[in-house]
Amino acid sequence: MQSQNKSLSKGLLILKEVITSSKPVTANALCQKFDIDKSTMSRLITTLQSEDFIEYKDNTKEIILSDLMRKIVLKDDREKIISKTQILLDDIFSLTNESSYIGIYDNNAVLYLNQVDKSNRVLKTRNAIGLHAPLHTNAFGKILIAYLGIDCATLELKHYTSNTITTVSKMNREVERIKTRGYAIGNEEHEFGLKSLAIPYFNSKKEFVGAIGISGLAIRMDERTLHQFGEQLIQLNQ
């Protein structure tokens, strides 16, 4: 029983290392870090692999999480983001009376993880939770471009409305404006009638997580109002 407990403990150490590592790991590196001999390490890795916790990357000796574990870890990370930003989303809605959102980078687009809209308006923005939007067409995506350091030349700047930014030079200028003032504005660039405003959201370790802000009908948010909300959101999030 004691031997089994030791094996379980070592196996969990290896799994934790693979989960927390920013890059693939190797058996040799794991042996050195945890002072485990090669034969024991081989058995542990084989067990974790057979239980679908880890796998080898392509045909290399690099160890990564299995598809199943990646989905579990990703789901857990996203649920933590939702939980930690819920109060902030509530505060943003209370301040602006506009629908508030948290958006993250996913598959070359902005993914809306959560939304708060407690208004009784007849005309409201649609529920966007779980939906994706092109990065260059809204305030949330623009924040991701600016703070993730995405090369604008790699973006597909597809045209949606006459306000859509479709050239790299204009998008680069937009990114510089965002970095200077600390917030981004979406001006009916994905569809007419909708505007958005977003600021960067950082976790307790000062790591950039995503974009947080509002979206609403253009008729309610002129340029002056958007800039005012931008300054207020920055103060609220400090």
pLDDT digits (tens, 9 = 90+) for 137-166: 999 999 999 999 999 999 999 999 999 999
β-pair partners for 110? 105, 133
pLDDT of residue 205: 83
pLDDT in tens, 90-121: 999 999 999 999 999 988 899 999 999 888 77
- All residues at 6 or more sequence positions from 172 whose CB lies less than 8 Å from its CB, including other chains: 152
3-state secondary structure 27-44: HHHHHHHHCCCHHHHHHH
The pTM score is: 0.74
pLDDT of residue 218: 92
Buried b (16+ CB within 10 A) or exposed e, 10-27: bbeebbeebeeeeeebeb
Token pair of 179, please? 């970095």
pLDDT of residue 200: 96
Q: Are 189 and 138 in contact (CB under 8 A)?
A: yes
Token pair of 13, please? 């150490």
Token pair of 12, please? 């969990």
Which of helix, strand or coil describes residue 55?
Answer: strand
Token pair of 4, please? 């089994």
- All residues at 6 or more sequence positions from 144 whose CB lies less than 8 Å from its CB, including other chains: 103, 104, 105, 110, 135, 150, 210, 211
For 10-14, 131-135, 182-186, 229-233, which range has the lowest pLDDT when averaged over its residues? 10-14
Q: What is the mean pLDDT of residues 24-48?
A: 90
Which domains are present in the chain? 2-65 (1.10.10.10), 75-236 (3.30.450.40)
